Amino acid sequence: MSTVTTAPVLVVEHEADCPPGWLGEWLEAAGAVLDVRRPYTGQALPGDLTTYAGMLVLGGDMGAHDDATHPWLTEVKQLVAGAAQAGTPVLGVCLGHQLAAVALGGEAGRNPLGQQVGVLDVGWLPDAADDELLGALARGGHAPAVQWNDDLVTRLPDGAVPLARTARGELQAARLAATVWGVQWHPEVGEEIIATWAVHDRDAAVERGVDLDAHVAAVAAARADLRATWVQLADAFARVCATTRPVTR
């Protein structure tokens, strides 16, 4: 599907090991023009999103409250808050999901049930079926997703709608505002990206008795299913960015 946007989509990359990956590939194939900013290299973020069709906020190893050591996180949260007010589409992935939730008055922190790693099914909730971004996927049922996180959204902002939870009850996705969505999983990654995460996390995983190589292998085995599933999310987000008209004042 090709959906031409008249303005670029801002992509915020927090570290080199967490690139746009498949989402970037699919968004461009759908007609979106991406403006990828890497503030960890010193690149500046825009002051607002008035010239953008939407924003994609990626994941990273830092926490949603680590503004002191990663000062651009404050700017990202300000951009999300402004986007929610203006009606500009935003999609947050993992850390991006947590940053968006915090920006709108929610809370994020360590998962009390422990780290989530592996290919897990998305546990769609009833409200997801009618959601503009995730509805078609939710109605389709089975959706495998790569999860690799220690933190999650622990309290949703007022008015937010939970769209998916794990079997243990952890939040997996939410509509955080009318045009702001967050997903805790990683629709953008395959085994080539998470293999770098496994190297970074290996020592801690060995202490916990976790075999990260097995998780990387599981992602590789699910590659075709993952790509067939999450290209639909990219197409839907490109469509939302192309058709949503932000409020102007």
pLDDT for residue 248 = 57
pLDDT for residue 208 = 55
Whole-number percent of the chain with pLDDT over 70? 92
- Is the confidence at residue 27, as pLDDT, over 60? yes
Point out the catalytic residue in the list 18, 70, 97, 188.
188
Residue 188 is a catalytic residue: yes
Point out the catalytic residue in the list 13, 18, 94, 215.
94
| Arithmetic mean of pLDDT, 131-140 | 97
pLDDT for residue 204 = 55
- Is the confidence at residue 35, as pLDDT, over 70? yes
pLDDT for residue 201 = 62
Residue 70 is a catalytic residue: no
Give dist(CA 187, CA 230) in Å, integer.
Answer: 6
The mean pLDDT value of the chain amounts to: 92
Q: What is the pLDDT of residues 218-231, one digit of tens each?
A: 999 999 999 999 99
Give dist(CA 170, CA 50) in Å, integer.
Answer: 34
pLDDT for residue 210 = 57
Structure tokens at 35: 């403006």
| Arithmetic mean of pLDDT, 28-37 | 97
- Is the confidence at residue 129, as pLDDT, over 60? yes
Residue 215 pLDDT level (bands cut at 50, 70, 90): confident
Q: What is the pLDDT of residues 169-197, one digit of tens each?
A: 999 999 999 999 999 999 999 999 999 98
Residue 115 pLDDT level (bands cut at 50, 70, 90): confident
Give dist(CA 22, CA 27) in Å, integer.
Answer: 8
Q: Where are the domains of the chain?
A: 9-190+230-243
Q: Which residue has the higher pLDDT, 114 or 38?
A: 38
pLDDT for residue 207 = 47
Point out the catalytic residue in the list 14, 70, 97, 186.
186
Residue 114 pLDDT level (bands cut at 50, 70, 90): confident
Q: Where are the beta strands (DSSP E) in the chain?
A: 9-12, 34-37, 54-57, 90-93, 107-110, 116-121, 144-149, 151-155, 161-165, 171-177, 180-183
Residue 170 is a catalytic residue: no
Q: What are phi and psi of 43, to 5 degrees?
A: -65, 140
Rg (CA), the chain: 17
**Quick check: 10 and 52 in contact, CB under 8 A?**
yes
Residue 5 pLDDT level (bands cut at 50, 70, 90): low
9-190+230-243 folds as Rossmann fold (3.40.50)
| Arithmetic mean of pLDDT, 14-21 | 97
Q: What is the pLDDT of residues 58-103, one digit of tens each?
A: 999 999 999 999 999 999 999 999 999 999 999 999 999 999 999 9
